[in-house]
A and B are shown apart, each in its own frame.
Chain A
Amino acid sequence: MTLKGNVWKFGADVDTDAIIPARYLNTSDPAELAKHCMEDADPEFPNKMQPGDIIVAGKNFGCGSSREHAPIAIKAAGVSCVIAKSYARIFYRNAFNIGLPIFECSEAAEAIEEGDEVAVDAAQGIVKNITKNETYQATPVPEFMQQIIDAGGLIDYVAKRLQGQNKE
């Protein structure tokens, strides 16, 4: 699978309150959350981004709250993937669990500029900057996380496991 889009760039330590402020957490409807995605980091983001666009950010993306609404908002807004130098650990797990592709790549996070067109080979973790004609390699996904992705997310992974137990 190739994820392709134009880049919106953010800084370091983007927290989950910036990704989806708590004032909107009286719902978990993805479409509602998407309307406010990244609002406190950039109020215009929900209006100006196009489906398929890519978020590129610095270190510790998604720090703060455990709210799964954060990756849900990003995914529902139509962002195809996030590339960052590093991720806060709860956000990292949540993104895999709900099926938002994320990539850890310092080189890409530094070299890519806002507006660059980028294509990511999701399986290989290869980030291609079409605008600059550069290629970067993301940190490989742990094998166990890959199993969750292959199963279609954590819930399907668990459901399959429980089905297996019932047959025994």
Chain B
Amino acid sequence: MMGMTITEKILAAHAGIDRVEPGQLINVKVDLVLGNDITAPVAIHEFDRIGVDTVWDRERVVLVPDHFVPNKDIMSAEQAKQLREFAHKHQLTNYYEVGRMGVEHCLLPEQGLVGPGDLVIGADSHTCTYGGLGAFSTGVGSTDLAAAMALGETWLKVPESIKFVYNGNLPRWVGGKDLILYTIGQIGVDGALYMAMEFTGPAIEGLGIDGRMTMANMAIEAGAKNGIVPPDEITRNYVENRAKRPYTFYQSDPDARYAQVIEIDVSKLEPQIAFPHLPENTRPVSEAADVTIDQVVIGSCTNGRLSDLQLAAEVLKGHRVSDNLRLLVIPGTQDIYLQALREGLVEQFINAGAAVSTPTCGPCLGGHMGILAKGERALATTNRNFVGRMGHPESEVYLCNPAVAAASAVLGRIAAPWEVE
């Protein structure tokens, strides 16, 4: 009998069976479900139609208003109010109000609400982020969320897995964002459609937990069901004093079956830029010269964590933001914001001429707090550069890592970090 991958093992454990095969349809127990201020209102409407008195577990239904908060307009305020009222009515223990909230996929791992071996579904496509901790997590729509809020279960098709092996040492200024952008550039935006992306190899073993979450976060940008990193000591150090529930470290068997194994040598990799209008349009930063930009955004569920802010501050040190450009820095959670304050990063950003915002998804999806005008161009540490993603349909978004974002903010054009050293 063939061995199983980490994804298959987590799915089998939550289906209450010994083994699963790719393609098999299974009913699984979920450890946690998640909704936000865009998706939860639809889910709440559907939940109320099911005819159950309350949610399956009031400690495991998490609601985080983060997309259009602090409320951007009256209609958004109505949507956020629906979450608040639902959380109150069902006495949810994990509703995060403005002032305590964060960008959901930065917040949940930080608060210890997800851990290795968990199975989590969320009505947000970037729910796959938690794979960075060795969990199976995937995005669903609002109706799937509503059903799981009532049942504590959902159905899944067991995905095939692609194993990515990252060999070599990561060059300076190259991190998780560059690995995942490069990978999407290689396989395309549907290169892992319906599949699991398993990120392994020496370069991953040396990558911090933030970078691992960045990689898993963008698995959806290759069409994947989930991205996952085998948990290790780095994972343990991150979760051991946070986890609110017991966790399990699963590892793929040596004889596990993969649809494909892709080896990538990272030792010569440059920071990557995804050009408009798909994340797969990647180029090394040295081939992105002469692209002038109007706005730089550092933040989001992809790169709004403390190490991202530290990296940006390191590059900005002693420099000022170009006169022709706005730099927006958005810490992912209140804890990250506080830590950035303590370390002097926020002061550094403000002294450099940046705007620092309370946590929000805001500009990443063209919601608020940094919308682009017609013809404007942004460079962002976010995850999508689709047409109109950050504002006007005739604006453009380029994607990059936080160091490149900071260097580019100084020079007013897409630039490599070594250009400002």
Partner of A22, one of B141, B194, B367: B367
Which residue on chain B has the smallest CB distance to residue A91?
Answer: B141
Judge if B326 is at the interface, Cβ distance under 8 Å: no
Instruction: State the Cβ distance, A66 to closest chain B Cβ, in Å.
Output: 4
Query: Residues 127-161 of chain A: 1 if any B CB is under 8 Å from the residue's CB, otherwise 0?
Result: 00000000000000010100000000111001101
Instruction: State the Cβ distance, B129 to closest chain A Cβ, in Å.
Output: 13
CA distance A71 to B146 in the complex (A): 16
Task: Tally chain B residues at the interface, Cβ within 8 Å.
Answer: 51
Q: A158-B50, A158-B150 are in contact. List 20 more A-B contacts (CB 8 A).
A: A13-B189, A17-B384, A21-B393, A26-B68, A28-B79, A43-B393, A63-B223, A65-B125, A66-B139, A67-B39, A68-B123, A88-B190, A93-B140, A94-B142, A97-B141, A98-B143, A144-B25, A153-B143, A154-B143, A159-B49
Q: Would you call A159 and B50 a contact (CB within 8 A)? A: yes
Q: How large is the interface on A (under 10, 10 to 19, 20 to 34, 35 or more residues)?
A: 35 or more
Q: Would you call A93 and B76 a contact (CB within 8 A)? A: no
Q: Which residues of B contact A (CB under 8 A)?
A: 25, 38-39, 41-42, 45-46, 49-52, 67-68, 72-73, 75-76, 79, 123-125, 127, 139-144, 146-147, 150-151, 155, 157, 189-190, 193-194, 220, 223, 225, 278, 365-367, 384, 386-389, 393
Q: For chain A, residues 20 to 78, give those with C-beta under 8 angstroms from any C-beta of chain B.
A: 21-23, 25-28, 39-41, 43, 59-60, 63-69, 72
From known contacts A21-B366, A21-B388, A63-B190, infer whether A155 and B146 are also in contact, taking CB-CB under 8 Å: yes
Q: Would you call B193 and A86 a contact (CB within 8 A)? A: yes
Q: Which residues of A contact B (CB under 8 A)?
A: 13, 15, 17-18, 21-23, 25-28, 39-41, 43, 59-60, 63-69, 72, 86, 88-90, 93-94, 97-98, 142, 144, 153-155, 158-159, 161-162
Q: Would you call A89 and B387 a contact (CB within 8 A)? A: no
Q: Kindly list chain B residues whose C-beta atoms are within 8 Å of the C-beta of A69.
A: 38, 42
Q: Would you call A144 and B155 a contact (CB within 8 A)? A: yes
From known contacts A90-B141, A97-B144, infer whether A60 and B190 are also in contact, taking CB-CB under 8 Å: yes
From known contacts A40-B388, A89-B194, infer whether A158 and B147 are also in contact, taking CB-CB under 8 Å: yes
Partner of B387, one of A40, A65, A66, A159: A40
Instruction: State the Cβ distance, A153 to closest chain B Cβ, in Å.
Output: 7
CA distance A63 to B155 in the complex (A): 21
Q: Kindly list chain A residues whose C-beta atoms are within 8 Å of the C-beta of B155.
A: 144
CB-defined A-B contacts under 8 Å, sample of 30? A13-B189, A15-B387, A17-B365, A18-B388, A21-B388, A25-B68, A26-B79, A27-B79, A39-B393, A40-B387, A60-B193, A60-B223, A63-B190, A66-B125, A67-B39, A69-B42, A86-B190, A89-B194, A90-B140, A90-B141, A90-B220, A93-B144, A94-B141, A142-B25, A144-B155, A153-B143, A154-B144, A158-B147, A162-B50, A162-B51
CA distance A60 to B124 in the complex (A): 18
Instruction: State the Cβ distance, B121 to closest chain A Cβ, in Å.
Output: 10
CA distance A65 to B220 in the complex (A): 9
Q: Kindly list chain B residues whose C-beta atoms are within 8 Å of the C-beta of A67.
A: 38-39, 141
Q: Would you call A155 and B147 a contact (CB within 8 A)? A: yes
Which residue on chain A has the smallest CB distance to residue B147?
Answer: A158
